[in-house]
Amino acid sequence: MNVPASDPQPIGSADWPSDWLRATLGFLALRALSAGPSYGYAIISELERHGFGAIKGGTLYPLLTRYEAAGLVTTDWRAGDGGPGRKYFALTDQGRAELTRLSADWLRFAVTSTHYLDPERLTKEISA
């Protein structure tokens, strides 16, 4: 697996509970689009490369369609290189704002969860 040195190594990539992925796929897809327009398979590959496991197109495409309807992404059909065309997705300004909001909310949630699940905190509560 080729992961740039600046990125942390993926941990347990294929073992995430499906409900965790369902809960986070929306903003992970927005994050994948933050570098620029992309198509479904490339988004799936990006997420897999970063340790999220294999995401099914049947899960991703309806999400992207809902995001298009909500004004978070735009779409553009582009001719394929020697094959069929591809539907590219790009973030709108509203999509970038939503990614920023969701990322901040997720970080706050992760810190709160980590604090709550801290084994030292749990040990202190049990012995108190």
pLDDT digits (tens, 9 = 90+) for 13-66: 567 898 999 899 999 999 999 999 999 999 999 999 999 998 999 999 999 999
Is 3 contained in some domain? no
CB 96 within 8 A of CB 28: no
* Residue span of the structural domain in which 31 resides: 18-127
Number of domains in the chain: 1
DSSP class of residue 30? H
Is 10 contained in some domain? no
Cβ neighbourhood burial of 17 (10 Å; 0-12, 13-18, 19+) = exposed
pLDDT given for residue 3 in this prediction: 40
Is 8 contained in some domain? no
Q: What is the CATH number of the domain that holds 31?
A: 1.10.10.10
pLDDT given for residue 4 in this prediction: 44
Is 56 contained in some domain? yes
Closest Cα partner for 103 from 29, 37, 46?
Answer: 29
CB 35 within 8 A of CB 89: no
Is 5 contained in some domain? no
Is 30 contained in some domain? yes
For residue range 79-125, list pLDDT tens digits in order.
877 888 899 999 999 999 999 999 999 999 999 999 999 888 767 66
CB 36 within 8 A of CB 55: no
Is 52 contained in some domain? yes
Bridging pattern class, strands 73-78 and 38-39: unpaired
Residue with tokens 């810190």: 111
Is 44 contained in some domain? yes
Asked whether the predicted pLDDT for residue 6 surpasses 50, the reply is no
